[in-house]
Amino acid sequence: NYCRTGTLDPKKVKGKIITCLSDSAYENILKGIEVKDAGGVGMIVCNDEYTGNVVNPEPYVLPATQLRLNDSKELFAYINSR
């Protein structure tokens, strides 16, 4: 999920830490606003193939972190194993 406008279901997001894919088309701070507005309490931004292993410091409106591509792959492997 890229966490763009209107893509998050508040019933599923409320009180949770949300995993969002990073992309160049939508700023990560805007993703954080979407997560917060939907009731999320935190966000993990996972780099995709395009954003790779580059992690830049960015401001967020809620607790958040960004993972490099390799770490993102490990996180998704874990999520998908459950």
Task: Tell me how far apart the alpha carbons of residues 77 and 66 are, in angstroms, rounded to a whole number.
Answer: 17
pLDDT computed for residue 2 by the predictor = 84
The lowest-confidence range among 16-20, 30-34, 50-54 is: 50-54
- Residue 47 near residue 55 (C-beta atoms within 8 A): yes
Length of the chain: 82
Residue percentage of the chain with pLDDT more than 90: 72
The residue type of 20 is C
For the chain, the straight-line distance linking the first and the last C-alpha, in angstroms and rounded, comes to: 18
Query: Is residue 25 scored above 70 in pLDDT?
Result: no
Name the more confident of 24 and 55.
55
Query: Taking Cα atoms as reference points, which of 25, 32, 42 lies closest to residue 3?
Result: 32
pLDDT of 47 = 92
User: Does domain 10-81 sit in CATH 3.50.30.30?
Assistant: yes
pTM value > 0.75: yes
